[in-house]
Chains A and B, each alone.
Chain A
């Protein structure tokens, strides 16, 4: 006997009645996307759960992939069995034997198919006794069992499941619209992107590149971060903005303490233009209050004033240690700490204003004509799409 199905229980989306269908369709699509290199595994979904028919595919890679999909609350391996007592007994015993270090168990029967001749309570008892007879040193505990064996008697068949794997929770990526993520290459922005994705937001990224002040390594780092993030959803588009000329001009013409604030405002302005072009309705940043000069309340106020777009700041109230801990779980941390400067650190003045005045910023900015630089950089944006299944990656991987 083998586990032949994987049962997926929906997360929060089960609550959202009106949008439910949309969410389920999105999750369905996302699951299919994650499993596209396993063509034999078939995905079927209905109102309250999703079922993956394994059709001979080994369960472990599928389990691993499911741990990257938002919108899944829990999932379990399942055995499909005839709705017939002997067959269900065999399946239940298999599930119990497959589980690791179980000392106590409990059987829970759900009987959607009311034509099944035995009542749920009685059937729990029948299966429980069968399991006790056929195992050693394992007891029943109805309150806190190590393992709960679920028997779901449906019209088409019966599904037996046991161990529950924790899913990622959140909402399926794509169900909450799209955002433009400012991706710098540091520790914070990928975590912000991840959290936005967890809330169902699809992301595109924008990266400001200042060659020769920033190296190819910095760009590669951002590509690798996007690739890592794309494991949690779809391929991620990155818009790489050639920022050197504008940055040089700001650095030259804006009074020292204010150049950083103006630079940040320009980044937002450019982001807004691109967002509009891509039909994206919001901007996401990895800002966390108080971390650096540009992330004080006054700075945020002065910088934010340049755009009307909603700015999503998933990290705004988080401690650095919390952010690092998430970065480590999602494997972006080792990429982020590679030693390449991004454009924000290149022209940093010695003493940037921590309390810039919005009016002053606007005054200095008004004196400066950036039209030419803006048009130039917009014409020269380079857009690449990154997914975990990239070809140059495959070329390298084939060497191993």
Chain B
């Protein structure tokens, strides 16, 4: 089996699953309990925050463990907006964000917020001047993703951070779900105030994730209750999930350090092959994230290609998985101005550290065959 759909989700690493199991079996105390069992759990929770903070270069008290990317994005956006609405009611984001950002932002409109959704140009990369132009006196939040999930474009986080650095009343949120462990981003150097990470995109377990929120930032909680995690996210902590998340983060960080060229090599190899194929047009530009490669085969319905590959035990994605059951244009490809025959026929390949060059070769060989066969049927 060749699994090239790692931006949808990844297979949990064995050691990550083992950590989850050990913690679930041996440290099941409630972190709020006063007895030894609870104290051990609390200690483990604290260690998790410390380790996660260390990996991100931030403080342990700046980590909020969540159920994943969607919660992290919701908490960042609604949490800031509701806590600081007396300062201003204007929020800026981009047209190519994940639905959990776009829909969160839209939900604020009902509460009287004004939202600016910035378009991205043909490059798929946000123009920093556009952010600068959109900023207003009452802008309290700018939310921009680091790496786009569908296309793999890298957004100019550092430049936006510079722009916002001296605006004490505007917070900067970055959705890092697709980039953590693959593309470096220093939260400090880029002046990021909030950042979302999801566990299951980095070989962790589903239902895990974290939000980084810089010290001093108030968040109106999504969940009220027992006041866990410094009153920012009530609910008994999912300690097994939390420990396994931090383990996955560590493994990803190490993989990145030891194999800095892994994705570049896979990407180059696949690009060369795809470029030589008839009917295939690559949508992801050069110099973007190497672990995501998006291309269109305008002649064929992408689902047909997907299933033909699936028969050969190869798994890819059409559009982004969350929305892929609807037969529609890809909003992201549409946003960068591609013609309809490309926005409705895109296929996304996304790599993990487990993928090999051999798999890329097998894939391209299989894709060629699929196109030939489909050509016979339809041609």
- The residues of A with any CB-CB pair to B shorter than 8 Å are 215-217, 220, 334, 396-397, 399-400
Closest chain B CB from A102 CB (angstroms): 21
**Which segment of B31-39, B124-132, B279-287 sits at the interface?**
B31-39
What is the CB-to-nearest-CB distance from B208 to chain A, in angstroms, rounded to a whole number? 14
7 A-B contacts, Cβ less than 8 Å apart?
A217-B34, A217-B39, A334-B60, A396-B43, A399-B243, A399-B247, A400-B48
Tell whether, in the assembled complex, residue A397 and residue B47 are in contact, meaning their CB atoms are under 8 Å apart. yes
Bound CA–CA A397/B22 (angstroms): 12
Chain B residues near A397 (CB-CB < 8 A): 47
Inter-chain contacts of B19 with A (CB < 8 A): 399-400
B102 at the interface (CB under 8 A from A): no
B39 x A400 contact (CB < 8 A): no
Known interface pairs A215-B34, A216-B34, A217-B34; A399-B39 also in contact (CB < 8 Å): no
B263 to chain A, nearest CB (A): 25
Q: Mark B247-263, 1 if CB is under 8 A from A, else 0.
A: 10010000000000000
B34 touches A396 (CB 8 A): no
Known: A215-B34, A399-B23, A400-B246. A220 touches B44 (CB 8 A): no
Pick the contact of B44: A217, A334, A399 (CB < 8 A): A399
Task: Kindly list chain A residues whose C-beta atoms are within 8 Å of the C-beta of B22.
Answer: 399
What is the distance, in angstroms, from A319's C-beta to the closest C-beta of chain B? 24
CB A335 to nearest CB in B, in angstroms, measures 10
Bound Cα distance A396, B48 (Å): 10
Is the C-beta of B198 less than 8 angstroms from some C-beta in chain A? no
Residue of A nearest to B59 (CB): A334
Cα-based distance from A215 to B275 in the complex (angstroms): 68
Q: Give the residues in chain A near B47, CB-CB below 8 Å.
A: 396-397, 400
Q: A-B pairs with the 3 shortest C-beta distances? A: A399-B19, A216-B36, A399-B243
At the interface, yes or no: B51 with Cβ under 8 Å from chain A? yes
Contact present for A400 and B243 (CB under 8 Å): yes
A224 (CB) vs chain B CBs: closest residue: B43
Of chain A, the residue at the smallest CB distance from B48 is A400
C-alpha spacing A72/B23, complex, angstroms: 41
Whether B250 contacts A400 by the Cβ 8 Å rule is yes
Please, what's the 1-or-0 string for B26-61, where 1 marks a CB less than 8 Å from any CB in chain A? 000000001110010001100110010000000010
Least CB distance, A386 to chain B, in whole angstroms? 14
Q: B: which residues have CB within 8 A of A?
A: 19, 22-23, 34-36, 39, 43-44, 47-48, 51, 60, 243, 246-247, 250
Q: Are B39 and A220 in contact (CB under 8 A)?
A: yes
CB distance from A358 to the nearest CB of B (A): 39
Question: Residue on A with the closest CB to B20?
Answer: A399
Pairwise interchain contact A400-B34, C-beta atoms closer than 8 A: no
Q: Nearest CB to that of B247 among chain A residues?
A: A400
Q: Which residues of A contact B35 (CB under 8 A)?
A: 216
Q: DSSP class of B's interface residues: helix, strand, loop or mixed?
A: helix
Q: Which residues of B contact A217 (CB under 8 A)?
A: 34, 39
Highest count of chain B CB atoms <10 Å: which of A215, A217, A396, A400: A400
User: Chain A nearest CB: distance from B122 CB in Å?
Assistant: 39
**Which residue in chain B gives the minimum CB-CB distance to A335?**
B46
A399 CA to B47 CA, complexed, in Å: 10
Bound Cα distance from A400 to B43, whole angstroms: 13
CA A215 to CA B33, docked complex, whole Å = 11
Q: Identify the closest chain A residue to B40 (Cβ).
A: A396
In the complex, A226 Cα to B120 Cα: how many Å? 55
Q: Which of B39, B48, B60 contacts A216 (CB 8 A)?
A: B39
Whole-angstrom distance from the CB of A248 to the nearest CB of chain B? 21
Which chain A residue lies CB-closest to B36?
Answer: A216
Q: Is the CB of B43 within 8 A of A220?
A: yes
CB distance from A344 to the nearest CB of B (A): 19
Q: Once bound together, how far apart are the Cα atoms of A202 and B250, in whole Å?
A: 36
Min CB–CB distance B60 → chain A (angstroms)? 8
The docked-state distance in angstroms from the alpha carbon of A400 to that of B19 is 7
- List, in ascending order, chain B residues with CB within 8 A of A216's CB: 34-36, 39
Closest CB of chain A to B11's CB: distance in Å? Answer: 20
Measured between alpha carbons, how far is A214 from B246 in the docked complex, in Å? 33
Q: Which residues of B contact A334 (CB under 8 A)?
A: 60
Please measure, in the bound complex, the distance between the C-alpha atom of A337 and the C-alpha atom of B333, giving whole angstroms: 52
Residues on the B chain within 8 Å of A399, using CB: 19, 22-23, 44, 243, 247
Which chain A residues lie closer than 8 Å to B246 at the CB level? 400
Known: A397-B47, A400-B47. 19 other contacts (CB 8 A): A215-B34, A216-B34, A216-B35, A216-B36, A216-B39, A217-B34, A217-B39, A220-B39, A334-B60, A396-B43, A396-B44, A399-B19, A399-B44, A399-B247, A400-B19, A400-B48, A400-B51, A400-B247, A400-B250
Q: Please give, as numbers and ranges, the residues of chain A lying within 8 Å of B247 by CB-CB distance.
A: 399-400
- How long is the Cα–Cα vector from A334 to B60 in the complex, in angstroms? 10
Bound together, the chains give a CA A247 to CA B277 distance in angstroms of: 85
Shortest beta-carbon distance, A252 to chain B, in Å? 26
A400: chain B residues within 8 A (beta carbon): 19, 47-48, 51, 243, 246-247, 250
**Nearest B residue to A397 by beta-carbon distance?**
B47
CA distance A216 to B38 in the complex (A): 10
CA distance A400 to B243 in the complex (A): 6
Q: Which residues of A contact B23 (CB under 8 A)?
A: 399
Which chain B positions have C-beta within 8 A of A215?
34
Chain A residues lying within 8 Å of B36, measured Cβ to Cβ, are 216
Q: How distant is the Cα of A107 from the Cα of B290 in the complex, in angstroms?
A: 46
B244 to chain A: closest residue by CB = A399
Q: In the complex, which residues of chain A have a beta carbon less than 8 angstroms from the beta carbon of B44?
A: 396, 399
Closest to A392 in B: B40
| Interchain CA distance A396-B47 in the complex, whole Å | 9
Q: Whose C-beta in chain A lies nearest to the C-beta of B249?
A: A400
Min C-beta distance of A62 to chain B, whole Å: 19
Q: Nearest-CB distance from A100 to chain B (Å)?
A: 15
- How far, in angstroms, from A399 to B34 measured CA to CA in the complex? 23
* B327 CB to nearest A CB, Å: 44
CA gap between A396 and B39 in the complex, in Å: 13
- The smallest beta-carbon distance between A105 and chain B, in angstroms, is 27
A residues in contact with B51, CB < 8 Å: 400
Q: Which residue of A lies closest to B37 (CB)?
A: A216
User: In whole angstroms, how far apart are the Cα atoms of A397 and B47 in the complex?
Assistant: 8
* Chain A min CB distance to B245 (Å): 10
